[in-house]
A = this chain, B = another copy of it.
Amino acid sequence: MACKPASTLLLSVLLSFALVPGVADGAEPLPSWNEGEAKQSILQFVESVTREGAPTFVAAAERIAVFDNDGTLWAEQPAYFQLLFAVDRVKALAPKHPEWKTQPPFSDLLKGNLKGVAASGEPGLAKILAATHAGITTDEFAASVAEWTRTARHPRFQRPYTDLTYLPMRELLGHLRANGFKTFIVSGGGADFVRVFAERIYGIPPEQVIGSYGGLELRKGADGKLVLMKLAKVELVDDHAGKPVGIQRFIGRRPIFAFGNSDGDQQMLEWTAAGDGPRFMGLVHHTDAEREYAYDRKSHVGQLDKAWDEATARKWTVVDMKKDWKQVFSAP
C-alpha cells in the first residue's frame, strides 16, 4: 500500500466525516465500529448513493440491501442454530416416537453421539429435518420455534440464541434503513425459521426474509379451518447459486449492497457485483476467538475460502471482527 503523509490522511478522514449524513447533527452512525477501512467503506458508499445530484445517486426504490444470516447477522458456532433447534426438537418429540431409540440418526442423536449423526450424512440430516420441520402446520412450526428461542440457551454463552446477534451489524441495518434502503435477509436457513424472530431482533419483517423453503399444502384442519401443512419436499436451497435465484424470485431486482461471511454467499456477492452503477460487497471474517469464534478456510461451519480470495482480488470490504468491532454482542 502506498503511504500518504499523515496530514493528507487526516484531511481525508475529516472530509469523509463531513460528508456522512447524520454526523454533522451529532448522531454518529455505527458507534460499535472502530474507525478503519471497513467502517469508512460502508459510510462512504451510503453517502455516495444518497447524495442527490451525485453521479453515484441511486433512487430509494433501488436501494436493496441483502444480508446472509448465519455468521453474518448472528453467530453460527458450534453449529448452525437451526440445527441445534432440530436437535432439541428431536429430543422433545422423542417420547412420541419410541421407534427412534433404534433408528439412526435419531438413536445416535438421542444418545448424544453427534459424530454418529454427522456420519449419517445428507440422508440422515434430511430425516432429522423432515421429522422436525415437516408434517406440521406453518402455525405449529412457528410456535415451536418461538418457544425454543425463549427457552433454549447457547452452550458457551448461556444466553438465548436470539441474543447472539452482532450489534455492529444491527447498527448497519439501521443505518441503511435510515438512508432509505430496504433490508432483506437471504439465508441458507429456513425462511419459516428465521421469520419467527427476524422482526423482533433485526427489524426485518417476514416478507423481507428469504430463505430455504419446502413444499406447502393447503388442507382443512380437524376443526374445519384451513391450514398450510409443511411438506418434507425441499423446493429451494437458498445457498450458493440458490441465493441469486432466491433474490430474483422474491425481490425481482438486483441488490446494490450485499453482506455475507462464507463461501455460501459468494454467488450472492457476485450477482450483486455484476449489476451496473455503485455496488457494495462485504464479508464478515471471524477472527475473534475470545469474544466470539475464529474460523475461516478449514471450518466445517461457515467455511470462508474461495469467497475470501475473490473479495481480496476484487477489493470487496472484509470486516475483521477482532479489529473492526468495538463490541460483538449486546450486553446481557
Chain A contacts to B: CB under 8 angstroms: 61, 64, 138, 182, 191-192, 195, 199, 205-209, 213, 216-218, 225-226, 228, 235, 241, 244-245, 248-253, 267, 270-271, 274
Contacts and interface: CB of A to CB of B under 8 A. Distances in A.
Contacts of A64: 207
Contacts of A218: 241, 244-245, 267, 271
Nearest to A240: B218
Given A235-B235, A270-B226, A249 B216 contact: yes
Given A235-B235, A244-B226, A271-B226, A253 B206 contact: yes
A213 B252 contact: no
A213 B213 CA distance: 15
Contacts of A213: 249
Contacts of A191: 249, 252
Contacts of A235: 235
A216 B249 CA distance: 8
Given A199-B61, A245-B218, A192 B252 contact: yes
Contact of A195 (B208, B217, B252): B252
Given A199-B61, A250-B250, A228 B245 contact: yes
A274 to B, nearest CB: 5
A267 to B, nearest CB: 6
A217 B217 CA distance: 25
A197 to B, nearest CB: 12
A207 B270 contact: no
A248 B182 contact: no
A61 B249 contact: no
Nearest to A210: B250
7 contacts: A61-B205, A195-B252, A207-B251, A218-B267, A226-B271, A226-B274, A250-B250
A154 B192 CA distance: 42
Given A191-B249, A207-B251, 7 more contacts: A64-B207, A195-B252, A206-B252, A207-B252, A213-B249, A216-B248, A218-B245
A244 B253 CA distance: 24
Contacts of A138: 248
A213 B248 CA distance: 11
A73 B46 CA distance: 36
Nearest to A218: B241
Contacts of A274: 225-226
A332 B195 CA distance: 44
Nearest to A196: B252
A251 B207 CA distance: 4
Contacts of A182: 207
Residue picked from A216, A225, A252, most chain B C-beta under 10 Å: A252
Contacts of A241: 217-218
